[in-house]
Amino acid sequence: MCGLVALITAHREAARLAPAVERVLPWAQHRGPDETSVHRDADVVFGFDRLAVIDLAGSHQPLPYGPPDAPGRYTIVFNGELYNFPELRAELARRHGARFRTSGDAEVVVTAYAHWGPAAVQRLRGMFAFLIWDALERVLFGARDPFGIKPLYVAAGPAGTAFASEKKCLLQLAPALGPRARHLDVDARAVQDYLTFQYVPEPATMHTAIRRIPAGTWFTVRPGGAIRRTRYFSPRLAAHPVAEPAAVHARIAGALRDSVAVHMRADVPVGAFLSGGIDSTAIAALATQHNPRLLTFTAGFAHEGYSEVQQAAETAAAIGSEHIVRVVEPEELTAELPRIVWYLDDPVADPALVPLWFIAREARKHVTVVLSGEGADELFGGYAIYREPLALAPFSKLPHGVRGALGRLSATLPDGVRGKDLLRRGALPLEERYYGNARIFRDDQLAHVLRWYDPHRSHTTLTAPIYAESAGWDPVARMQHVDVLTWLRGDILVKADKMTMANSLELRVPFLDPAVFAAAAGLPTEQKLAGGTTKYALRCALRGIVPDAVLWRPKLGFPVPIRHWLRDEIYPWARDLVRASGADRVVDLAGVQDMLDAHRRGTVDHSRRIWALLVFLIWHGIFVEERIPSPTLATACAVSVARMPSPTIPLQRSP
């Protein structure tokens, strides 16, 4: 796992611009503290920060490759892990006579591209964001993995096009790209989307000049040219009848067993996160079959009802792992949140990233790689909200006019009145009422808090094209499709990548594997929601793998007691944060304070909306106002402090 920075220049100015790339590499060094290298020719500059996980003594990047008559034709920078690289390596040697100088995966990727072209991407089993420069054809090729596990940001200007694993690298590099790239205004649409979804949906970021390469995409760009993108992966979850459920369950178990086996491949210690729920337990239990002394990690809180420590400890004892616990106190949350937001690059209002930050820091003391259970809910139907189509089925039988009247009635009821949201949602078609797992501010609520509110922009602006792809599917599969293309990419995988890499820890997600996805795709609703539970087929598949006490346990996750803390322990901190903020031109700070006070009185639960706003205010204070100090380079990389070259990280000043 690593951090890359790359620049393809428009006017063969790599020699002039190389120092700018070198200067921004420290901003990604937490992703790769083991070594830093730079490569350039007339058109491109590649910078690389490496976290050595496989082939520790070799596989240095940027890595050159080529046939005997042109040994340096290709150069690759590869962020991620390729789990089927031994198999691809053997195939390339057998079919094409390929020879390898290293025993790592990056050389396999560039060799596969040299022989198979862009089609090689669909042969890769793993997580990745990589760039390959073809010095003969003078073209840059790149790709992101199908689900978007690894990030890749892009910015362009008159001097060229730059890519990076960390957005903060491009904030620093933007002035070197020319006047257009220096235009780093906050994107008003991204702010509105963030307060709707609790994250900024890709390909956008909070800065207009910086975008993200979409997941499941490969692309090319030539010096001075525009990026040409091709979407190579589109998830299909349309349901099919199941004739033999037992065979389906066996296929799921086999695919997951094999996925965990290849995800354990590493030349460094591997552990696992363990929440006590079925997803992480399945991964950890299968991992213990390869390492009986597996270390597992969990985080919790002292607040009653918001800790999985006991359940996780009992699960660890049942599967035989050696278990480590980290309890998080509220004062730690407020002290660390600015640092967490800085590492995020863009705000994500998911409170679960807080325990993830702390447990990643703890895990890095013991291991370099952890396995985790992200993706199971989206693939197998694990969210309680997926039951909603069944609950709202009676509304679909009502005449359109009656449903509209119920919707208008709900609008007259005060917030907090029981049944208000049920009436509102029952009056709407699926395409309008469901836009992902996190529903922070509704459109009508946004108008009262957001000064840049655009009434012509709503959640359907983003979800309508996604729903169009799933026309004719059953409602649950359509909801999953929305979540895979938005929530999974924008929230789940962003926080997983950012919080672990902030601590120089590599996180692997065995559920997000092509074979596991193929086993999950097409499951009918009754194999997702049955017997009063979710992920029914997965639970059946895991009989005999996870302990019986966990098998039918409801989803746990990493619950965070922000609802209680905002009324008590962290209220003064939140109040002071609002008062000190300079973001009043973006949000109504007086309105935010009113929400905070109403929540403290207990008249209404505003906790998730307040949290989203507080995270945004911190982000704005760091990246726009430069009022909240950013981490110093001496503390930005928790693992490799001695290698940090500069005492402070100056943030790019917004115009």
Whichever domain contains 96, its CATH number is 3.60.20.10
648 in a structural domain: no
Q: Please provide the average confidence, as pLDDT, over all residues in the chain.
A: 92
Domain at 281, CATH number? 3.40.50.620
Q: Which of 499, 533, 551 is the last residue of a domain?
A: 551
> Does a structural domain hold residue 367?
yes
In a domain, 619, yes or no: no
In this predicted structure, the answer to whether residue 34 has a pLDDT above a threshold of 50 is yes
CA pair distance 222, 100, nearest whole angstrom: 28
Question: 397: Cβ–Cβ under 8 A, 6 or more apart, which residues?
Answer: none
Range of the domain at 390: 384-436
Pair (259, 215) in one structural domain: no
**Is the per-residue pLDDT at 431 higher than 90?**
yes
pLDDT class of 642 with cuts at 50, 70, 90: very low
Is residue 131 pLDDT above 70, yes or no? Answer: yes
| Whether 171 and 254 share a structural domain | no
- The answer to whether position 448 is within a domain reads no
**Whose CA is closest to 351, among 361, 360, 341?**
341
Average pLDDT over residues 8-13: 96
Residue with token string 């460094």? 268
Residue 583 pLDDT greater than 60, yes or no: yes
In a domain, 545, yes or no: yes
Q: Which residue has the higher pLDDT, 557 or 462?
A: 462
Pairing of strands 74-82, 126-134: antiparallel
Q: How confident is the model at residue 218 (pLDDT cuts 50, 70, 90)?
A: very high
Given a contact cutoff of 8 angstroms between Cβ atoms, the answer to whether 647 and 633 are in contact is yes
pTM value > 0.85: yes
The answer on 535 and 501 residing in a single domain is yes
- Rounded Cα gap, residues 517 and 379, in angstroms: 7
Q: Are 32 and 137 members of one domain?
A: yes
Among 205, 231, 257, residue at a domain's last position: 231
210's tokens: 């910086």
Same domain assignment for residues 204 and 100: yes
> Are residues 61 and 75 both part of a single domain?
yes
181-185, 304-308, 519-523: least confidently modelled range: 304-308
pLDDT of residue 442: 86
Q: Stretch 267-285: mean pLDDT, rounded? A: 95
Regarding whether 301 and 221 lie in a shared domain, the answer is: no
pLDDT of residue 643: 32
pLDDT surpassing 90 at residue 517 = yes
Among residues of the chain, what percentage have pLDDT more than 90?
80
Residue 362, domain member (yes or no): yes
Instruction: Flag whether 222 is in a domain.
Output: yes
The mean pLDDT of 153-157, rounded to a whole number, is 96
Beta pairing partners, 210: 155
Tens of pLDDT, residue by residue over 601-621, are: 998 999 999 999 999 999 999
Q: What is the average pLDDT across 197-219?
A: 97
Residue range 569-592: mean pLDDT, rounded: 96
Identify whether residues 88 and 193 lie together within a single domain: yes
- Show which of 551, 567, 593 is a domain's final residue: 551
Q: Looking at residue 417, what is its pLDDT? A: 79
pLDDT at 188: 95
Residues 24 and 146 in one domain: yes
Q: Say yes or no: 262 and 191 in one domain.
A: no
The predicted model gives 499-505 an average pLDDT of 97
Verify whether residue 2 is a known catalytic residue: yes
Question: Average pLDDT, stretch 501-515?
Answer: 97
Q: Does 78 share its domain with 88?
A: yes
State how many domains the chain has: 3
Note the pLDDT of residue 655.
26
| Model pLDDT, residue 222 | 98
Does a structural domain hold residue 624?
no
Do 408 and 508 have their domain in common? no
